[in-house]
Amino acid sequence: MWEALQLEFMRNALAAGILVSVVCGVIGTLVVVNRIVFLAGGIAHAAYGGIGLALFMGWPYVAGTTGFSLLAAGVMAAVTLKAKHRADAMVGVIWAVGMAAGIILLDLTPGYHVDLMSYLFGSILAVPLADLWQMGAIGAIVIFVVAWYYNDFLAMSYDDEFARLRNIPVTFLYCLLLGMIALTVVMIIRVVGLILVIALLTIPPFIAEKFTGSLRGMMLLSSALSCAFTLTGLWLSYLWNLTAGATIILVAAAGFCAAVLWGRLRSMRSPDQITGTGNSQ
Amino acid sequence: MIETIIDVSGVWFSFNGQPILKDVDLKVPRGDFLVVIGPNGGGKTTLLKLMLGLLEPTRGTVRVFGQPPQKAAHRIGYVPQNVHINKTFPVSVLDVVLMGRLRSGRGWSSHSLQDRSAAQAVMEQLGVWAHRNRRIGELSGGELHRVFIARALVSAPEVLFLDEAMASIDAQSRSEFYEALTELNRTVTIVAVSHDMMILSSHVKSVACVNRDLHYHDSGEITQEMLDAAYRCPVDLVAHGVPHRVLCRHEDR
């Protein structure tokens, strides 16, 4: 392990993994409790269109993808707020069109063809230092915004009608959340890839929800779990020479299965305590 | 003259082209204990949400304390019909009650000591302070209901809206609950929506029947003519207050 840390790319990979984990723990928690996993998936896949556009136009990756993802998030916010009952179908359309547009734009890009795999599974071992700074900045913004509006996000996620009644700017917060999802997605795609964005946004919060009594605790535990999965995955991938992104996800999947089994066992032992965990702080 | 705090005038509301409320007028004076009754689908909850500012009328105006309802939000308390939302949500009972103290645009939101002592006072009063650290999903229906009332009262509102407040209360606790509401009514105006006729106890000061349109009964104005009129159509209920009240189903005028 120590010899691996001598390598700069490995140190960068570790830093990227930790940054992604913390942000995913925070945003993933809000995604899971607001039940907008499908929407997050839509934004992630639409972001693929941004990757295609950035390469086709010769723009830098982050600028192109961020812009496109924010646009997709804005459209989805408008659609889900205006036509709630058909929102899922519209998200599906944007999901597919964004992805297809990305592939066509890549086809049309002259010169060399980018390895699609690197955007599907990510390339955590090839994160340059400059990207780390960008990721750090995005992470800092996301955490600051969530901390600033923590109680408002809590009220909106638990009972949006009551939050509206207290004059909490629910619509603004919802758009803000989708925007932060877009930023996070752009950041994670680079590291664990498109397919696995959803996994990191959902698996750790899903596990954490069962073991915490507050939204804050759920964010902290998700981040910790995400870190554990990412670092274990990285280590195993180095040990056995496997693709890093895919290994991380399999580790997370193993953690997920273990948590589900643990939950089952526990509820078998005390059948009257299925919903609560008693772990309130 | 007693101040009118809720003024609904000429309000129409349609949803997908279907009229739900037609030309509704309602004035609620300060200190009133108004119960809004009517058949399911008759527009009771819609009327309540219009008064809360959660819905905008298609035509007409709603004023609460002389302002649009959104502007008066800090003077309003609300207990929703469904207290069983989001039961797996990781939030403590105390944090749910504290939501009632939220103000908009405060940012960097941590609750002040004042918020916390207000929450403690109202939770002790309602007997849920002992549950403060439990997860919301662990509570029974009756406990949840009291927590939601605490959330509504923690901001010391001047008017309290209750939507189907009886739904999650067992029969035994009801009379106790009426007593508590009556006590509360000394300082707070109460507007309760219910299809449960039992709420028409002697504590209720006025009744509004909503079925597309609205009929307001001030208990002081019940006359022999009204009773005669009432008995000519199917009788909905006889409420044993003082005086006895008989209300009828209102066919279209």
pLDDT at A273: 46
pLDDT at A267: 78
pLDDT at B219: 59
B36 or A224: which leads in pLDDT: A224
Classify residue B119: in a domain, yes or no: yes
A/B interface, count of CB pairs below 8 Å: 98
Chain A residues touching B135 at Cβ < 8 A:
213, 275-278, 280
pLDDT at A232: 94
Chain B residues touching A166 at Cβ < 8 A:
73, 99-100, 102-104
Q: Which residues are CB-contacts of A163 (< 8 A; sequence separation ≥ 6)? A: A152, A155, A156, A170, B99, B102
Does any CB of chain A come closer than 8 Å to the CB of residue B84?
A: no
B33 beta partners: B190
- How many structural domains compose chain B? 1
Classify residue B253: in a domain, yes or no: no
Residue B23: exposure state from Cβ atoms within 10 A (0-12, 13-18, ≥19): middle
Interface probe for A, chosen from B54, B94, B102 (most Cβ of A below 10 Å), is B102
pLDDT at A2: 65
Distance CA(B206)–CA(B191), nearest Å, equals 10
In chain B, the DSSP E strands lie at 4-15, 18-29, 33-37, 59-64, 76-79, 159-163, 189-193, 206-211, 213-218, 235-239, 245-248
CA distance B102 to chain A (A): 6
Does any CB of chain B come closer than 8 Å to the CB of residue A171?
A: no
pLDDT at A54: 86
- How far, rounded to the nearest angstrom, does the alpha carbon of residue A210 sit from its chain's CA centroid? 19
Interface probe for B, chosen from A172, A206, A279, A280 (most Cβ of B below 10 Å), is A280
B61 beta partners: B9
Question: What amino acid occupies position B40?
Answer: N
CA distance A235 to chain B (A): 32
pLDDT digits 0-9 by tens, B38-85: 777 778 888 999 999 888 898 889 999 988 988 888 889 999 887 777
Classify residue B20: in a domain, yes or no: yes
The C-alpha angle with vertex B184 and arms to B178 and B186, in degrees rounded to 5, equals 115
Whole-number average pLDDT of chain B: 77
Distance CA(B162)–CA(B191), nearest Å, equals 6
Distance CA(B56)–CA(B105), nearest Å, equals 23
Mean pLDDT of B195-205: 62
Does any CB of chain B come closer than 8 Å to the CB of residue A263?
A: no
Question: What amino acid occupies position A176?
Answer: L
CA distance B155 to chain A (A): 10
pLDDT at A22: 93
Classify residue B36: in a domain, yes or no: yes
Partner residue facing A151 (CB), from B102, B133, B137: B102
pLDDT at B251: 47
Residue A114: strand, helix, or coil: coil
Chain A residues touching B76 at Cβ < 8 A:
165
pTM of the model: 0.84
Q: Is the pLDDT of residue B204 over 50?
A: yes
Classify residue B72: in a domain, yes or no: yes
Mean pLDDT of B117-135: 90
Residue B213: strand, helix, or coil: strand
The CA–CA distances, whole Å, from A250 to A174, A199, A214 equal 31, 10, 28
Helices A150-158 & A215-240 angle (0-180, nearest 10): 100
Contact A150 B91 (CB under 8 A): no
Give me the percent of chain B exceeding a pLDDT of 90.
Answer: 20
Name the closest residue on chain A to residue B139, using Cα atoms. Answer: A276
Distance CA(A168)–CA(A271), nearest Å, equals 38
The C-alpha angle with vertex A147 and arms to A144 and A152, in degrees rounded to 5, equals 130
Q: What tokens does B149 get?
A: 């009332």
Provide block-wise average pLDDT over 10 residues at a time, chain A (281 residues).
74 89 94 92 88 85 84 90 81 89 85 66 78 88 93 92 88 94 85 78 92 93 95 91 86 93 82 44 34
Does any CB of chain B come closer than 8 Å to the CB of residue A262?
A: no
CA distance B82 to chain A (A): 11
Mean pLDDT of B92-107: 84
Give me the domains of chain A, ranges plus CATH numbers.
2-206 (1.10.3470.10)
Q: DSSP states of B114-173 as a string?
A: HHHHHHHHHHHHTT-GGGTTSBGGGS-HHHHHHHHHHHHHTT--SEEEEESTTTTS-HHH
pLDDT digits 0-9 by tens, B156-168: 999 999 887 766 6
Question: What amino acid occupies position B200?
Answer: L
B173 or A78: which leads in pLDDT: A78
CA distance A158 to chain B (A): 7
Domain that holds residue B237: 4-248
Q: Is the pLDDT of residue B221 over 50?
A: no
pLDDT at B196: 61
Domain containing residue B191: CATH number: 3.40.50.300
Contact B103 A167 (CB under 8 A): yes
CA distance A183 to chain B (A): 21
